[in-house]
Amino acid sequence: MVRIWISLGSNIDREKNIRAALHDLHAEFGPLQISRVYESEAVGFSGDAFYNLVVGLDTDRTAADLMTRFREIESDHGRTREGGGFASRTLDIDLLTYGDEVMDVNGAHLPRDEITRYAFVLLPLSELAADSVHPELGLSYREMWAAFDHTAQRLWPVPFEIDIPDIN
């Protein structure tokens, strides 16, 4: 089993889509570790604000299988690929890390560079895995968050009730 970290985001029907994704992930993978939910302004395009969070789980699936499955879950909840990477979306599920592995899978590099670029990824990851070390940079996520420019991207925690067992 390997511990993976996933980022979830939505700026269309946010609560509904985040809840649905969490239910799907829990039903398929079992117990989840979930960060607080954050609201943030859209980055890279003009659009509605996002809800973002990070989820941790243990799995025996390959990184390629996981990425394929996450795309299926996104599609099941109305995600379209129109507008490229910088567009509104019902659901975005990205595999951030796959244990301590450094690899290229399905055109994506793991660990994802979003960890170092976006507050809405790094802050919730640093909450859940503060002492875990980024496999390429050799810094803990707590250290990375402490060094991050907090003024560059605004985000704030939002109240969000999650009605799933096995969640901490």
Q: Which pLDDT does position 153 carry in this prediction?
A: 87
Q: Which pLDDT does position 46 carry in this prediction?
A: 63
CATH architecture, domain 2-158: 2-Layer Sandwich (3.30)
Q: Which pLDDT does position 59 carry in this prediction?
A: 98
Q: Which pLDDT does position 76 carry in this prediction?
A: 84
List C-alpha distances in Å: 45 to 40, 41, 49, 59. Answer: 13, 9, 11, 34
Q: Which pLDDT does position 18 carry in this prediction?
A: 96
Range 78-81, long-range pairs (CB < 8 A, 24+ positions): 78/12, 78/17
Q: Which pLDDT does position 17 carry in this prediction?
A: 94
Domain boundaries, the chain: 2-158
Which one, of 20, 37, 38, lies nearest residue 28 by Cα?
20
Q: Which pLDDT does position 99 carry in this prediction?
A: 97
Low-confidence stretches of the chain (pLDDT < 70) are: 44-46, 78-87, 166-168
